[in-house]
Structure 1
Amino acid sequence: MDLVHVLKSAVDQGCSDVHILVGKPPMMRKNGEIRPIDPSLPVLSGEETKGLIYSMLYEDQQARFEENLELDCSHDIPGLSRFRVNVLMTLNGVESAMRVISSRIPDPDTLGITPTMLDLASLPRGMVLVTGPTGSGKSTTLACLIERANQTRSEHILTIEDPIEFVYQPRKCIIRQREVGQNTKSFPNALRAALREDPDIILVGEMRDYETIGLAVTAAETGHLCFATLHTQDAPSTVARIIDVFPAHQQAQIRVQVANSLRAVIAQLLLPRRDGKGRVAVRELMIVTPAIANQIREGKPHMIYSAIDTGAQFGMVSMDKSLAEVIKRGLVDTEVALAKAHSPDQVRTLAGLRAGPGAY
């Protein structure tokens, strides 16, 4: 069995992820569901999965995997796609999960990214966060913002990623991309060095710990525009998560720093389309106004929900309003959308449905 053939078949079918595992044929995730890539492909043994997976790894990557029993890397098949790869050791043997990364950065209009969101790429400084669960399209939304800056600004963009996903071609900007594990030891190391590398825009692939978050906030405070991702569900919980990562004696200080540096949060979900033809992105946008900055400073993130609801003049939109919109447009099943709502009753009202249990 040839891995390139397997991956090509999966990509041609429009899958989002590929899974190589023992005791199953090669599997893929398509429209959120796991299924075989090709029913004619045989079940894989432990030796076969190891052979397939090792065929795409360099010797140093194989050695790192055998030492750590985990490996994050990327794999590029010219003319097909890039893949974000995780290799893991399981009870059954060596297995892998691969996220398909489009070789082309999508057009923002096709993704439903609003002009207000795109304008975030024009900010002179501060922090912009794109949040959501794994597989919600955060990297793709970020890529659209970075590419907009690349096309419209004459500056220096520095990305720190694990692994590199989209590869940017310099337009008006110069762009340097660094991969954790390959080009730098860690996110904190790369961020500390970044402040001496004359960047205007810094992309932090993922803020995983308080050291990375603290350095990213400092970068935003010191005149850089810093983009990053977090695995949070909505804008208010994003603010709470950033603060809660820090020890109690540092939280008052970080609240002030975040209030001063945070400019916006885009929270997004991908929901299966009602017609079965792929998934649709649903987004919340919080723009940090003086009122919201004050709520962050005072440790009242729960009050941000109402500020987003009343912030339409700034281009803000709540997750519940976006969910109601996709229900009204018939894009998503009502039950699916309501399961993701902060306030299901509010979504029902906004979508013009009867309120209360059993309304749908």
Structure 2
Amino acid sequence: MRRASSSRHAGDIWLGSGADASLTELLDRARALRASDVHIAPGFPVFARIDGKLQAITDQPLTLSTARHLATAPLSERQRASLQDDLDVDLMCIDDQQQRYRVNIAHANGAVGAVIRLLPLAPMPLADLKLPLAVEIATQRGKGLVLITGSTSQGKTTTMASMIDAINRRDRRHIVTIEDPVEYVHPPGQSLVRQREVGRDTQSFATGLRAALRQDPDVLLIGELRDFETIEIALRAAASGMLVISTLHIVSIERMMDRLVAYAPPGRENLVRSMTSEVLHLVVHQELLPTLDGGKRVAAEVMVGTRAIRNLLRGGSETQLRSALMSGSAAGMVTMQASLDALVNEGAIAESIRDDVLKNYAAIN
């Protein structure tokens, strides 16, 4: 295992000369194809997710031994023992070109395989994401709750990282992140950025958050809101004067409050509803879509926490959010329809993509 350069993040596994050459070649090929993920499984060729679809990047199916060899190439002896005991392992890796990877190695059908997420070298500048102006404005706020929502693999982590990058480039602020895992490493900038990884630097999101509140933060980034304790601490932090940025897995903005309340134990539902309505500043709901030139763009629905929106949330009137969104453009709100139409008019996405997303929205809502 080769010693990493100073840009390596503590805890990353080095994919240098000790790693299997064929794995490195596969990852290089996947990057050249602009893939987001690589799938290694016995009985199948190696697949890469390109423009949202799985495509084979090798000709022959992998044997059991070859799949296991490729999947476990990054592991230390301790991690191999952990895989044997726990049946799956998560880790971050870095190669000779400082490219970073999020790796999940797991058993399926009695055999070992892996899924490898290819990560950008650095956070994208926020302007490059071409999100609505309200997102940039949110990074300038000193307090409140900002939620980036959507289903899996819709670019939520990328947007959060770009928001932190914008703050780091511009402001003298103390930023504490609690992530699982750390995907984007923020270089030194104007801010002091302390990135903590669950399982390595802290036991859980809630534990890390409780500690962060004693560390004089201006900005808290929480990788995901997925339990009541984390949600409660995040809401209290936002209420006490911090800017809190996090993600929530939902299929539409209308489902936001239901999801948060669902995590609350009996008798605490109204607390979550009341606190959220008090501190909510912005919700950005994302759909990551293939573009006509082979890339990806985000269609974003934006809900600003105006007094009218907060009153609807406090009163449990989520069914009226859609009409409030449609009439809220002066406050910076953007509907998914408007975002999709803009992408079509720009020539970025096909009309069929827009129509499919809108059809799904109609079915959900």
Q: Which residue of 1 aligns with 2:50?
A: 30
Q: How far, CA to CA, are the matches of 2:116 and 2:313 in structure 1? A: 37
Q: Is the 8 A contact 2:226 2:263 kept in 1?
A: no
Stretches of structure 2 that go unaligned for 5 or more consecutive residues are 1-20
Amino acid paired to 1:27? F
Amino acid paired to 2:40? I
Selected match of 2:39 from 19, 31, 50: 19
Selected match of 2:306 from 266, 271, 289: 289
Amino acid paired to 2:349? V
- Percent of counterpart pairs with the same letter? 33
Question: Against the structure 1 CA distance between its residues 288 and 205, is the aligned structure 2 distance closer, same or farther, given a 3 Å change threshold?
Answer: same
Q: How far, CA to CA, are the matches of 2:341 and 2:112 in structure 1? A: 43
Q: How far, CA to CA, are the matches of 2:77 and 2:196 in structure 1? A: 20
Equivalent residues in 2 for 1:29-48 (5 A)? 29-39=49-59, 42-48=60-66
Selected match of 2:353 from 325, 336, 339: 336
Number of residue pairs aligned between Structure 1 and Structure 2: 342
Selected match of 2:131 from 107, 110, 113: 113
Q: How far, CA to CA, are the matches of 1:319 and 1:78 in structure 2? A: 41
Equivalent residues in 2 for 1:209-358 (5 A)? 209-273=227-291, 275=292, 277-341=294-358
Query: TM-score, normalising length from structure 1?
Result: 0.89
* Displacement after TM superposition at 1:148 (Å): 0.8
Q: How far, CA to CA, are the matches of 2:263 and 2:62 in structure 1? A: 41
Selected match of 1:54 from 51, 62, 72: 72
Q: Is the 8 A contact 2:147 2:248 kept in 1?
A: yes
Q: Does 1:146 align with 2:142?
A: no
Q: How far, CA to CA, are the matches of 1:8 and 1:223 in structure 2? A: 45
Q: Which residue of 2 aligns with 1:3?
A: 23
Per-residue deviation, residues 221-275 of structure 1 (Å, max 9, x unmatched): 22211111111123222222112221342111111100111110111101222x3
- Partner-residue secondary structure (3-state), 1:236: helix
Selected match of 1:83 from 101, 108, 121: 101
Amino acid paired to 2:54? I
Question: Which deviates further from its counterpart, 79-88 or 293-302?
Answer: 79-88
Q: How far, CA to CA, are the matches of 1:344 and 1:219 in structure 2? A: 32
* Displacement after TM superposition at 1:97 (Å): 1.1
- Partner-residue secondary structure (3-state), 2:268: helix
Amino acid paired to 2:265? P
Amino acid paired to 1:277? G
Per-residue deviation, residues 49-93 of structure 1 (Å, max 9, x unmatched): 222222212333333333322222211124152112222210041
Q: Which residue of 2 aligns with 1:352?
A: none
Stretches of structure 1 that go unaligned for 5 or more consecutive residues are 346-360
Q: Is the 8 A contact 1:136 1:270 kept in 2?
A: yes
Selected match of 1:129 from 147, 151, 173: 147
* Displacement after TM superposition at 1:157 (Å): 0.7
- Partner-residue secondary structure (3-state), 1:229: strand
Per-residue deviation, residues 286-341 of structure 1 (Å, max 9, x unmatched): 11001111111111122111111111111110112212323334433333322322
Q: Is the 8 A contact 1:8 1:80 kept in 2?
A: no
Q: Does 1:166 align with 2:167?
A: no
Query: TM-score, normalising length from structure 2?
Result: 0.88
- Partner-residue secondary structure (3-state), 1:109: helix
Q: Which residue of 2 aligns with 1:358?
A: none
* Displacement after TM superposition at 1:342 (Å): 6.9
Q: Provide the aligned C-alpha RMSD in A.
A: 1.9
Question: Against the structure 1 CA distance between its residues 238 and 29, is the aligned structure 2 distance closer, same or farther, given a 3 Å change threshold?
Answer: same
Q: Which residue of 2 aligns with 1:207?
A: 225
